[in-house]
A and B are shown apart, each in its own frame.
Chain A
């Protein structure tokens, strides 16, 4: 169990049935907290069905220092539907609060009321949620807002900020909606004023209240869209797929305003084909998809590598294989993103580890693609795509494109699109530039670009070697070490969204006097092998936690460095728990070095 930090570090969980307004209440809470100047991480889970009675949970962590994942234990659970919330009572920490309806209007079966499930160490706050809503608005519809007001009242959060967010949220609805919800909120606050307060956790004053106005609440997908826009994206082609669609929807709304062009294509193949076409013609072009779409796109990815065309593909992973688990998170498309396609088709793959990373990587992706004349994959997952974090973007746009340089030809010199140069990067001309006409092809070719197998080995070397300097691309964090310096007992290597839990694990382990360090790897292709190997030199055990079954990243690391690693893999559809990583870390410390090469833990805890 995490210890409450000094200052503010509180996590709310709101649970209800689809239609209860669970996600809406969570949305107001996180926006209010961000406006107050707190750091916020929030993640919603909802059923794949649009309508029905599925379970919705919104979890919001509010803190004044930057955090990297949700906490294992929530401090406060608000139940809007007991049947759904009962299984989540256990996630509330000892001395944490459970807020629930204590004035049931229907006869309940034994054990049907949440109060029967609250542990002795937890603090129950039963109140008439429905009654408060009905008294304030005449209807039970504002139950979610009444409960939110009660929670805000419990922690003395300023109502004015909530009023502002409520007004913004319902700005497009009739004014009565804002008025009713504001009344319901205030009635909730009022009800909480008369009860005893939870005193071992509090919402204090944020450390930097001034940053509240600069902070932007973004999802990972929103951050990718924003990065694309600031980088001057000119064309976006896409096909809807969960959980990447919100990037496409953002592009549809924003790109035409900026004078860019947006097209919903007939499938993922045409989405990437058009993106490649636009990239070939000199535009900054991107598409976004998930695993099943990426599977369709791999052939075009290979063409992009072969014809040396710059473009960007954002990939938000979900559970697989095949249609898999569309609304659950997983990190199992790593192999596909890095290796997918025929032949030796090395491309650049960037996997940001938090929302701010999504924004930065998306902002820089085009420049990287253009520098190395190759496709760039931005690999995230549902957990990162959909979770909210506060980001403070720089005031000045740092991603704007620089002017293009047309290749200069000497007199009588023949233009060679694929000239073998020292760096492997050849002078690139784009259609419209006179005197530089050429044809590019997916066939192996000579320096001019004509089909020929004569230089296959040299061309393969060129396509691989030109990418290697990307691991030190200026201004981009391709890997970074945290934690203890020097020799450590355990080193954790992480990528993507799981790195947040790995970092939280580090902080917990450091509090337990374990010598531990972690490394995040953002560039997955080409891999910053030297830095990873140097990190592994310092570690008695290397642990690689990731959300796939086979340990795809562990395999990659082990293959690239020729050294054993310990895998911790899970495919539960949910983010990995800090407690699970911590338990494996303790197991390793208690086991003799060197570690077993085949240790393999799965979600069920089976060791193969």
Chain B
């Protein structure tokens, strides 16, 4: 489904963009991604989301792991931490626990999240740390020049699966739903306006929000997850989907090869920081525990 776009004049559009203010969230460094990479949409989307939510630059921290997606913090003008491969979740948790006033956004690719970092995600989700996790899923290891990832489709040929990938890919949405992340949604790099809106909602959510973003790797995947194929396959979640119904969300997530875009599940429950404050309150009212 294509979005309807009215014809615009360049000067008018530039004025509109400058007046909007989201450009001030861009850093002076130009992105190092390949031309045509879906991740440019993410840079635009996050600056729009932060601007819309009125989050001051100094109160936003973007935490990333290692990979193409994880170069992200250098391209926005906020506080940023480009950490180690797979470790965005615990580092972001530490930052949030140290200062609740910060808006913490963790970013990683599919390999960073679900291969090396897969063990941390359920714990961040179950604890409901008030952070946003955006996984840019292009189904490939791009930075190391095209190896298979945990979300690569079966039958795909890459440098590490020259005779075809026979491993079954993971299903990130089903994983996060079963981990009870308290906000779960999916977006697509080829639909930037919807993406920006989803990023805004994800960051605004109180608790652990997980946004899965489908994105083509234009350099190392010429056959499977291309703009052409994704544009044909993506569709919106039905309007009457009940986001408080976990089982319905799982049914929606497993209904099609490429699951629908939109918000799958939302739950309001205490965040990790709120739980810790509650523990502090109880500890102060309890007799001291002997050493």
In the complex, are the beta carbons of A277 and B81 less than 8 A apart? yes
B74-88 with Cβ < 8 A to chain A:
74, 77-84, 87
**What residues of chain A lie closer than 8 Å to B59, measured between beta carbons?**
431-432
Please, which residue of chain A has its CB at the minimum distance from the CB of B273? A261
Q: Give bound CA distance, A450 to B58, whole Å.
A: 18
Query: Which residue of A has the minimal Cβ distance to B123?
Result: A266
Q: Which stretch (B193-201, B246-254, B280-288) binds chain A?
A: B280-288
User: Are A259 and B280 CB-contacts (below 8 A) given A235-B97, A432-B59?
Assistant: yes
A267: interface (CB < 8 Å): yes
Name the residue of chain B whose CB is nearest to the CB of A246: B291
Contact of A303 among B62, B79, B83, B279 (CB under 8 A): B83
Assembled-state Cα–Cα distance A274/B282 (Å): 24
A510 to B260, alpha carbons, bound, how many Å?
82
Check B99 for interface membership: any CB of A closer than 8 A: yes
Q: Decide yes or no: A278 and B102 within 8 Å by CB, A257-B280, A443-B82 being known contacts.
A: no
CB–CB A256/B90 < 8 A? no
- Whether B97 and A274, one on each chain, are in contact in the complex, defined by CB atoms closer than 8 angstroms, is yes
- Are B101's CB and A432's CB within 8 A? yes
Q: Known contacts A299-B84, A432-B101; is A280 also within 8 Å of B74 by CB?
A: no
CB-based contact B283/A257 at 8 Å: yes
B82 lies within 8 A of A270 (CB):
no
Is A451 within 8 A of B102, CB to CB? Answer: no
Is B217 interfacial (CB 8 A cutoff)?
Answer: no
Q: Please, what's the 1-or-0 string for B63-98, where 1 marks a CB less than 8 Å from any CB in chain A? A: 100000000011001111111100101111111111
In the complex, chain B residues whose CB is within 8 Å of the CB of A278: 94-95, 97-98
B residues near A509, Cβ cutoff 8 Å: none
Whether A277 contacts B58 by the Cβ 8 Å rule is no
Give the complex CA separation of A307 and B87 in angstroms.
Answer: 15
* CB < 8 Å neighbour of A431 from B58, B123, B280, B283: B58
Assuming the contacts A250-B291, A256-B280, A442-B83, asked whether A437 and B58 have C-beta atoms less than 8 A apart, the reply is: yes
Chain A interface residue number, banded: 35 or more
Task: Give the CA-CA distance A303 to B282 in the complex, in Å.
Answer: 36
Which chain A residues numbered 404 to 459 have a C-beta less than 8 Å away from chain B? 431-443, 450-451
B39-60 vs A, Cβ < 8 Å mask (1 yes, 0 no): 0000000000000000011110
Q: Are A265 and B98 in contact (CB under 8 A)?
A: no
Is A238 among interface residues, defined by CB-CB distance under 8 A?
no
B276 within 8 A of A: yes
Q: Is B29 an interface residue (CB 8 A)?
A: yes
Q: Is the C-beta of B155 less than 8 angstroms from some C-beta in chain A?
A: no
A interface footprint on B90-114 (CB within 8 Å = 1, 0 otherwise): 1111111111011000000000000
Instruction: Report yes or no: A270 in contact with B87, Cβ–Cβ below 8 A.
Output: yes
Within 270-288 of A, Cβ neighbours of B (below 8 Å) are at 270-271, 273-283, 285
Query: Please, how many angstroms separate the alpha-carbon atoms of A250 and B291 in the complex?
Result: 7
List of B residues within 8 angstroms of A366 by Cβ: none
A sample of 21 inter-chain contacts (CB < 8 A) reads A222-B291, A237-B90, A253-B288, A254-B289, A256-B283, A261-B276, A266-B119, A270-B90, A274-B97, A277-B63, A277-B93, A277-B96, A280-B95, A299-B84, A431-B79, A431-B102, A436-B58, A437-B58, A439-B80, A440-B82, A443-B82
Question: Which A residues are within 8 Å of any B CB, using their own CB?
Answer: 218, 222, 225, 234-235, 237, 250, 253-254, 256-257, 259, 261-263, 265-267, 269-271, 273-283, 285, 299-300, 303, 307, 431-443, 450-451
Given contacts A222-B291, A278-B94, A440-B81, 5 further A-B contacts (CB under 8 A): A237-B94, A263-B93, A263-B276, A277-B98, A439-B73
